[in-house]
Structure 1
């Protein structure tokens, strides 16, 4: 990368042009005097001390006091790891504040559905779903589109993928312990593409576009837990359950504990291993709506096109029926399922 491009990127992160230039020059020279920096970088002598003091406050430069005063560049790995943490913290804080403002005006239960225009914009949204998921991603799509997600899927190792496609054989990049694969039952099951991340985001579109139609292509993007729980139900009952399992999860190789958002994903995993399994469920009691956290062992499950629940025996020996989001027949509505072993 050229130096001009690095300077522009550093400016985006809050450094001035002179600060960016001084830090880069220090990395080249190593520990240096201010006069040496001025000579090498071209920063005016009248500005160099203010620039270095500012870099010191921002954590990019250490000052070694003495005569003459020396300036040492901080290791970029340390600088940017700290900067990344600060940026993420700031983003989370402002996102939370703005979300509270949004909810105070619009409420929490309004389904959010948008139309996405253009194939490239659709692909960007799908990649975002894969990148941002914390627990699981459900995918039903032709292999042609799935292949476009190769790099994003390859990077994610700590979430579960449940993928339905028209496989002839298992691609090497999908042969991972955290991936469940099913071969679609035929053309009717590939009429639409669904990409669902946790209970946060979902995207749908129909047939893939021809090249000449990519700009006229449309997809639909949704963000609403109550809406997405229906999409998840549709994914399993319409697509996954009518397809042939060709690669189960490699449960013993998965790093524990790990979390699942959807009861049907949980049961799909439990079907591919042996019970009982230690679990922690976080959610609400169905009758009172009070918060519930229950630890115990899964000893059984029920899975049909209409119902999905697990039987959990807690640490005191009491049995609980636990369902997923929107449960009303069970004892507990589970919002987070944590497999502990």
Structure 2
């Protein structure tokens, strides 16, 4: 990364341009006098002490007392991790504040589905779904749109991807162990796009726009576990089950424990991993809604367009475990953790 880009990113984190230059200079020089920092960085001598004092207040610089006084850069990993924690806390606080504000003004909860206008905004939302996922990402989209998500997909080695597209061949950047690829059945309607992250966020849109219509492009953004659970069901039964797997995940090379939240993703993984598999399941008893966490083995599964469940051997007995919304099974599974 070029130094100009680093300065720009530091400014986005709240540093001024001079503060960014001073911190980079200290990383190069190590503990230094103010005069040395001025000489190396070009920051005016009349400004350098104010700049260094501000960096000290913001936690980027330690002051080493003595004659002469030295300024030492704080380890970048320590600084950036603290900033990340602060940003995440601020974002979560803002989410709650905005929800409360909306509720106070409108007397109701935020809508479960939003309309997104503009193709570039849709790309940004798709990238956000991938960045924010903790367990799995399901994608059904033409290769032209998939390529726009290349960097985000390459950056996530810690989630399972199930990707359906109109592949001619397999790009090298999609050959990672955690990615399962399927070639679309080919019917035009199969290429409507879905990008689903866990049960938290989902994005849906139809045909890709022509350049002149990018600003008039619309997509739909959902944040509702009940709705997204239906989307996941359609993803598998309409799209995945009518497609050809051309690259399975490499289960043995994935880090364990491996957590998933969709029963059909779990079964898809088990098809390639084999049975039995030691696992942990977090969910609720269907009859009583009691929260349970159980350790045992997955020994079988059932997968049809209407039903999807696993047989879980636990304390000498067998339980049927389904996904969110289960009512025929014994357990409504909310998280499935494969241990081996």
* TM-score, L = length of structure 2: 0.87
Q: Does 1:197 align with 2:197?
A: yes
Contact 2:184 2:190 survives alignment (8 Å): yes
Contact 1:189 1:238 survives alignment (8 Å): no
- How many residues end up aligned between the 2 structures? 337
Contact 1:142 1:190 survives alignment (8 Å): no
Paired position in structure 2 for 1:340 = 339
Paired position in structure 2 for 1:123 = 123
**Structure 2: runs of 5 or more not aligned:** none
Structure 1 distance, partners of 2:150, 2:194, is 16
Contact 1:165 1:182 survives alignment (8 Å): yes
Structure 2 distance, partners of 1:103, 1:276, is 48
Structure 2 distance, partners of 1:211, 1:12, is 30
What do the CA deviations read for 1:177-197 (whole angstroms, capped 9, x no partner)?
Answer: 111111111224434111111
**Structure 1: runs of 5 or more not aligned:** none
Deviation at 1:171, TM superposition (A): 1.8
What do the CA deviations read for 1:252-297 (whole angstroms, capped 9, x no partner)?
Answer: 1111111111001101111122111011111111122121111110
Contact 1:18 1:43 survives alignment (8 Å): no
Paired position in structure 1 for 2:292 = 292
Deviation at 1:106, TM superposition (A): 6.6
CA RMSD of aligned residues (A): 2.8
Deviation at 1:111, TM superposition (A): 5.3
Deviation at 1:14, TM superposition (A): 3.5
Deviation at 1:202, TM superposition (A): 1.1
Paired position in structure 2 for 1:179 = 179
Structure 2 distance, partners of 1:322, 1:96, is 33
What do the CA deviations read for 1:137-165 (whole angstroms, capped 9, x no partner)?
Answer: 11111222222222211111111111111
Structure 2 distance, partners of 1:188, 1:4, is 45
Comparing 24-33 and 157-166, the one that deviates more: 24-33
Structure 2 distance, partners of 1:51, 1:263, is 55
* TM-score, L = length of structure 1: 0.87
Structure 1 distance, partners of 2:17, 2:175, is 47
What do the CA deviations read for 1:91-140 (whole angstroms, capped 9, x no partner)?
Answer: 345445655776898777x7511111111111111111111111111111
